[in-house]
Amino acid sequence: MTTIPPVTDVHTHVVPPGWPDLGAPDSPWLRRDSTETATIMRGDREFRRITDACWNADTRLADMDADGVDVQVVLPTPVFFGYDNDPDDAARVAGIFNDLTLEVTGQAPDRLLPFCQVPLQDSDAACQELDRCLDNGHRGVEIGNHVGDRDLDDEGVITFLQHCASRDVPVFVHPWDMTPAPRTDPWMLEWLVGMPAESQLSLLRLALSGAFDRLPESLRIGFAHGGGSFAYWTGRADNAWQQRRDLVGADSEHPPSHYAPRVYVDTVVFSEPALNVLLDVHGPERVVLGSDYPYPLGERPAGRVVRESSLLDDQKDTILRTNAERFLNA
């Protein structure tokens, strides 16, 4: 008898309720505003208002039931990564965050699958924290798409990704820490423009640097928000690689689109034409349900675009169920 894989949302976030104020000037802390609401603060500045969906397993499960989601991958919220800290501090911060996350996901371990964070600025410490977390029940790791000026083709990051492949652990890459600029200050343009560009930038760096040629094909790596702007501009990047390598100087064996089937992307793109581009570029086995729950620019109900699309039922099932099972090796 074959069992039907669960509907799995690979892109949701957690903020653990016991998160302490670590006292560093710019490190995030939680201001509890009521039993159901809190604000993520940076210093005395409000970063984001959040609700108990961030930490209350019962709230999450009720929303999942309402949306028809069986399982959530529960990811760290990127502002807590601590990549700016010195490595020892970052390792300590990651450990606190990861252990507190288990208190949330442990309330429904079959439905809430925790991914850990790691001090990515130090590949040894990152590998150690990943190993510790895998022993404690984490199912994968989320990383930011850069560590300051170092992107995913950085030697230390590649070392960490190779370790993930050797441990057979899925990696989910989330854009974060967009460069503030006056032109992207209003209307959440850092999120609307900066985030998709960040993902595209990191995917192109992995491709053009030759990092994908060095990383094992067995590495399961996924990108948030449909991989940002990457899929829509593989034609431009391929043309540059093929026609103007004299200018581009790429170090890769293949043009960027060649590597797209190595990458899982989620479905938080809010339009059927965009979803179809992802299916064309990355392949029907690489598109996974993601919602960005419970954050304000996420999709509710989770999976709406997939379910309302004109795809066939078995294509929808592949996106909603089967591909995540493969990504997670569940």
Give whichever of 118 and 224 is closer to Co ion, judged by the CB atom. Answer: 224
Q: Distance between CA 94 and CA 248 in Å, rounded?
A: 38
Site string for Co ion, 246-285 (x = CB under 5 A): ----------------------------------------
Q: How far apart are CA 255 and CA 242, in angstroms?
A: 7
Decide whether 154 or 292 has the Cβ nearer to Co ion.
292
Per CB under 5 A, the list member of 63, 154, 190, 292 interacting with Co ion is 292
| Closest CB 293 distance from Co ion, rounded Å | 9
Which residues, numbered 296-315, are part of the site for Co ion (CB under 5 A)? Answer: none
Residue 198 neighbours by CB under 8 Å, 6+ apart: 145, 146, 175, 176, 178, 228
Can you give the three-state secondary structure of 62-119, one letter per residue? HHHHHHCCCEEEEEECHHHCCCCCCHHHHHHHHHHHHHHHHHHHCCCCCCEEEEECCC
Nearest residue relative to Co ion (C-beta): 292
Structure tokens at 6: 């669960």
Given a contact cutoff of 8 angstroms between Cβ atoms, the answer to whether 11 and 292 are in contact is yes
Q: Tell me the closest approach of the beta carbon of residue 212 to Co ion, in angstroms.
A: 23
Q: State the minimum distance, in angstroms, from the CB of residue 83 to Co ion.
A: 16
* Cβ distance to Co ion smaller for residue 76 or 95: 76
Q: Which is nearer to Co ion, 138 or 163 (CB)?
A: 138
What is the smallest separation between the CB atom of 296 and Co ion, expressed in angstroms? 11
Side chain identity at residue 132, one-letter code:
R
> 96: which residues sit within 8 A by CB, 6+ positions away?
19, 20
Please give the full DSSP string across 150-163, using - where no structure is assigned. EETTSHHHHHHHHH
For the CB of residue 143, give the shortest distance to Co ion in the complex, in Å: 13
Q: Which is nearer to Co ion, 5 or 222 (CB)?
A: 222
Among 122-130, 251-259, 280-288, 291-299, the segment contacting Co ion (CB under 5 A): 291-299
54 or 91: CB nearest Co ion: 54
Judged by CB under 5 A, which stretch of 153-161, 190-198, 233-241, 286-294 contacts Co ion? 286-294
Instruction: Select from 50-58, 155-163, 271-279, 290-298 the region that touches Co ion (CB under 5 A).
Output: 290-298
Report, in Å, the least distance between residue 240 CB and Co ion.
29
**Across the strands, what pairs with 143?**
173
What's the closest the beta carbon of residue 209 comes to Co ion, in angstroms? Answer: 25
Nearer to Co ion, 9 or 292 (CB): 292
Compose the 25-54 pattern: x for residues touching Co ion by CB under 5 A, - for all others. Answer: ------------------------------
Shortest distance in whole angstroms from residue 303 CB to Co ion: 15
* Shortest Å distance, C-beta 121 to Co ion: 21
Number of residues that bind Co ion (CB under 5 A): 1
What is the C-alpha separation between 263 and 100, in angstroms, rounded?
Answer: 29
Spatial CB neighbours of 72, under 8 Å, sequence gap ≥ 6: 8, 9, 12, 60, 64, 111, 112, 113, 293
Instruction: Please identify, using beta-carbon distances, which residue of 129 and 142 lies nearer to Co ion.
Output: 142
Locus of tokens 């069986």: 70
The residue (of 115 and 259) whose beta carbon lies closer to Co ion is: 115
φ/ψ of 223, rounded to 5, equals -125, 140
Q: What whole-number distance in Å separates Cα of residue 258 and Cα of residue 72? A: 30
Report whether 127 contacts 161 (CB < 8 A): no
Positions in the binding site for Co ion (CB under 5 A) = 292
